[in-house]
Amino acid sequence: MKSFDLVIIGGGICGMTAAIYAARANIRACILEQQVCGGLVNWTNTVENVPSYQSIHGIDLMEKCREHVESLNVAIEEVDKVTAVNFSGDIKKITTSMGEEYEAPAVIVATGRSPRPFPVETNFPNIHYCSVCDGTPYKGKDIIVMGGGNSGFDESLYLLGLGVSNIHIVETFPSCIAAASTQDLARATGKIQVSVSMDITAVEELTDGRGRVTFHDKAEDRTYTEDVDGIFCFIGQTPNTGVFEDKLDMDHGYIRVNADMETNIPGVFAAGDVTTKKYRQITTAMGDGTIAALQAGAYLRRRRTGRSVFPEMDHAVPYGTSHPHSLPFSRNYR
């Protein structure tokens, strides 16, 4: 059993921010990450909305964050998925797929979200969720991008930069929700076709390695096919909260928290994209991680001394009650 003051489940930007604040407050913390630290930001080609960087590759940004965390001697355990939690007692217990056991009086859940899988059953192997990871082999080839949101258009522009010949963006809804300026930029390339009210109903693997995609045009109620070399899927994300079902209060898989990132269980906090919230950005995840770490520190101080480290916060709004400055929970998760 490995004991800490604070266990942070999730090593994305939110979890790493929480770790930085915890370590600087002399809280013995560790990060448990089921893959590698960085989360979905690792899959982002260019980040241009984080203060201090006009433009930076997502992986480069996360490497800098990780270096900061490591400089503070925070323990990081990667490629080890949390498979069970027990939040019932004063000391919270966590078990991982590698058989490791952790315990701590405080926990921050920052597990983020994962891409929604391609919704059609197929044996076609060339289906991807990361243009940075998998885009290079498609130079000079034709692909389909599924999803007309910001990710779909941004990643399409990146794939064109890698040398992809032609891209067909397919959106199931009547219109694309990507920023208008990005849509205009994509269409202006002359190499990106956009189809709305369109479903992919089947993908057949061909003998030459390509895939034959069957479409249903819902507006015209017709079916047709197109042969492509690969498919990139960007149709949103789902929260990584399966292990917390029946443990934490949730809404459609997202963890309910108050303005202080407190869940329904004392000592358990949740932060970032995994919580019920309206906006999910790198910067909002950083803010959530900051608040969660500060509140976890206050909780640990009260637990040790019986006094609040911030006396003025003794009457803070508890979990489950309305906060005068809080937005209602959003159910728009796409």
- Are the CB atoms for 183 and 194 separated by under 8 Å? yes
In degrees rounded to 5, what are phi and psi of residue 166?
A: -145, 145
The mean pLDDT of the chain is 91
Q: Quote the pLDDT of residue 319.
A: 57
Q: Quote the pLDDT of residue 322.
A: 44
Q: Quote the pLDDT of residue 305.
A: 85
The answer to whether residue 295 scores a pLDDT higher than 90 is: yes
Structure tokens at 164: 């992809």
- pTM of this structure: 0.79
Q: Quote the pLDDT of residue 330.
A: 35
pLDDT digits (tens, 9 = 90+) for 220-246: 999 999 999 999 999 988 999 999 999
Structure tokens at 154: 């941004």
Spatial CA neighbour of 227 closest among 251, 258, 203, 194: 203
pLDDT digits (tens, 9 = 90+) for 65-101: 999 999 999 999 999 999 999 999 999 999 999 999 9
**Structural domains for the chain:** 2-115+237-313 (3.50.50.60), 127-233 (3.50.50.60)
DSSP 235: -
CA dist 84 and 97 (Å) reads: 9
CA dist 267 and 89 (Å) reads: 10
Task: Give the model's confidence band at 130: pLDDT under 50 very low, under 70 low, under 90 confident, else very high.
Answer: confident
Q: Quote the pLDDT of residue 320.
A: 57
Helix (H, G, I), strand (E, B) or coil at 41: helix
Q: In what order do the strands lie in the sheet with 230-233?
A: 127-128, 230-233, 142-146, 166-170, 192-195
Helix (H, G, I), strand (E, B) or coil at 107: strand
Picking from 2-16, 221-235, 309-323, which range would have the lowest pLDDT averaged per residue?
Answer: 309-323
